[in-house]
Structure 1
Amino acid sequence: MKIIVRGAALALLTSVALPASAAECIAPANPGGGWDFTCRQIGRIMTELELVPNMVQVTNLAGAGGGVAYAQVVSKRSDDPELFVAASSATTTRLAQDAFAGATADQVRWVGSIGGDPGVIVVAKDSPIQGLNDLVEAVKADPGSVAFAGGSAVGGFDHLKVLMLLGDAGVEDMRKIKYIGMDGGADAITQTVGGFAQAMTGDMSEITGFIRSGDVRPIAVLSEERVAGFDDVPTAKEQGVDTVAMNWRGIYVPKDISDEDYQRWVDHLTAVGQSEQWQTVMAENGLEPYLVTGAEFQSFVDENIAEIQELSREIGLLK
């Protein structure tokens, strides 16, 4: 199977109010994951390009695989013109599977995608698993002995990547696959390094620091070709498993802001995506260019959700 889905606790700010003109980005996970990465990098570059008057405030609001943040934006901040929220394939996956308690994609406005983040499988540095085939054989021999940790909830995109990968590798009973859903990639890495999970499924951008520090060892990247800067990491395809999974990274904003404010965020994200700073970020973190904004991105989100629903039905996550 090949699928490219393009296409990582709020204090409620009651005691410390932000200046009226200060932009805020909500990362729907704990610090260290892909959504946190998206907020901090986009916010930093917006400030450097002087697109916003003050430093962008980053607020981590973990819970329900992004559902807590989504609900807060929809119910309490639907007309906040200075708020944007990090999103990815994990976001549309949860919406496609009706995992946000009835929330739908049309309750926010989708601004754009700024990059593609290849999926990756890593193990602890001292793991006896040396390559993807070792991992697959261990699962086939005893599915209960191998737990996968991921930065999205059960049924989320990190979980889907594991199911797609193992399905393509010949594993038949997906119900036996053990998956531990965490609130962000950093937490999933902790589970793997600590031995609570035998492998971690995530995206290249949220794992690069752990790879470079030697805490984990990548055994497969789920891209068509090896990722620049990580040329020693083989693709799953090279190892006989024809799986490609790409996570888009971008942002959405509250639904009830004005068209002018929405266009402002589209223009800001476009400027960031075209900047030299963002080209450097992509090169350093294994990202691929994928800049799609405005109406084109809205159409993409609709198609993305339909694709994920079809896949989820195929593997039994949706009826």
Structure 2
Amino acid sequence: MTQHPHVSRRLGAFALAGVAALTLAGCTASPSGGGEGGDEPAAISAVDVIAPADPGGGWDQTARAVSQALTEASLVSSAPVSNIGGAGGTVGLASLATETDPNTLMVTGSVMVGAVETNASSVRMEDMTAIARLTEEPLVIVVPADSPYDSVQDFLDAWVEEDSGMAVTGGSAGGIDHVLAGLLLTGGGVEPADIPTSLNYIANSGGGEALTLLLGGQVDAGISGVGEFSQQIEAGELKALAVTSSEPAELLPDAPTLVDEGIDITLTNWRGLLAPGDISDDERVALETLVTDLHESDAWTEVLATNGWTDAFLAGAEFDEFLAEDIATTQETLTTIGLIE
């Protein structure tokens, strides 16, 4: 796959530590079914859900949505959420690697794929058990309401001219927000080798931190999922310059796409679920079955509609293949835009 900055990309299909282990009380398997040679996977009565980020961002929203839908659909009796933030999710990833309870699900996604590379994490996503991809969400480029920029091209022209004097905030270093910032600058004519010094990117471990910087006028622009900024945009506190989907975003129907604005970049941020790496085949099947039932529930359908998330469900071998491709392409893209060597 070519990574020339003017070639359209869909990074949602883009082959895009210590903390004590969490102990889950009450996770028991039903004695019927499951087991070696059983016809049915073992029933799961409770799961622990980990958001590998601070409260307020997309991973936290996803973790709490999964927890709520699992319990509302009566698929489990409880699904408590824990936040383990830091380093683009790699702190949570390292914690998952030491988790001894197989009925643990951690939210993951494009951001973590990039963060593993930029942080040179010793624990990798390939070391865990991939359960399912759940959603895709476009990103949005925003500026404060009083910003002089009313179009993404006007902002990009000023950004290229001012170089590192323009501060842009978003999610973790190496994540999809950071990648988009690099792609925009390379598309604007900045050489990839100059990106590390030209790009003044303020990384955050939670969406709330980026919002504080934007509303306080401490940065010139922000990048995040549409769901994280949509309320402030609707309230007139932020201006949406463009979204990264191929069509207008459901939550921000009036915001133009980058393609509409003449910038040939299309990408989405995927989110999914991982489990500990050393679980058995039967334990993996039980979790995949649980998450498949979640995906098919009315409670999850309502979650997708409420948050403006696109259903992007993949499980089993299909998710394994997607993740391997995403990791490989992420490595190539991060190299191309100068964020890793």
TM-score normalised per structure 1: 0.90
Deviation at 1:124, TM superposition (A): 1.5
The 4+ residue runs of structure 1 with deviation greater than 6 A are none
C-alpha distance in 2 between matches for 1:212 and 1:242:
26
Please identify the structure whose Cα radius of gyration is greater: 2
The one of 291, 294, 301 aligned to 1:269: 291
Quote the residue 1:166 is aligned against. Answer: 185
Specify the alignment match of 1:313 in structure 2: 335
Using the TM superposition, give the Cα deviation of residue 40 of structure 1 relative to its aligned residue in structure 2, in angstroms. 0.5
Counterpart of 2:67 in structure 1 is: 43
- Please list, as runs of the form range in 1=range in 2, the aligned pairs for 1:201-280 lying within 5 A after superposition: 201-280=223-302
Which residue of 2 is the match for residue 144 of structure 1?
164
Across the two proteins, how many residue pairs are aligned to each other? Answer: 312
Please give the alpha-carbon distance, in whole angstroms, between the structure 2 residues aligned to 1:144 and 1:307: 27
In the other structure, the counterpart of 1:117 is 137
Q: CA deviation at 1:192?
A: 1.4
- Distance in 2 (alpha carbons) for counterparts of 1:35 and 1:287: 13
Question: Which of 101, 105, 108 does residue 87 from structure 1 map onto?
Answer: 108
Alpha-carbon contact 1:27-1:61 (below 8 Å) kept: yes
Cα separation, 2, equivalents of 1:312 and 1:123: 25
Where structure 2 has 5 or more consecutive residues not aligned to the other structure, the ranges are 1-6, 29-45
Asked if 1 retains the 8 angstrom alpha-carbon contact of 2:21 and 2:96, the reply is no
| 2:322 corresponds to which of 300, 304, 315 | 300
Q: Once the 2 structures are TM-superposed, how far is the Cα of residue 215 of structure 1 from its aligned partner?
A: 3.0
Report the secondary structure of 2:172's partner residue. Answer: coil
- What is the aligned partner in structure 1 of residue 215 from structure 2? 193
Please tell me the root mean square deviation across aligned C-alpha atoms, in Å.
2.2
What is the alpha-carbon distance in structure 2 between the residues aligned to residue 44 and residue 214 of structure 1?
A: 30
* C-alpha displacement of 1:216: 2.0
**Conserved? CA contact 2:21–2:95, under 8 Å:** no
1:126, distance to aligned residue in structure 2 (A): 2.2
Q: Deviations over 1:170-214 (max 9, x none)?
A: 334423121011112221121111112111111123223333343
Residue identity opposite 1:24 in structure 2:
D
Unaligned runs of 5+ in 1: none
Deviation of the 1:98 alpha carbon: 5.6
Displacement after TM superposition at 1:29 (Å) = 1.0
Partner of residue 91, structure 2 = 68
SS of the residue corresponding to residue 237 of structure 1 reads coil
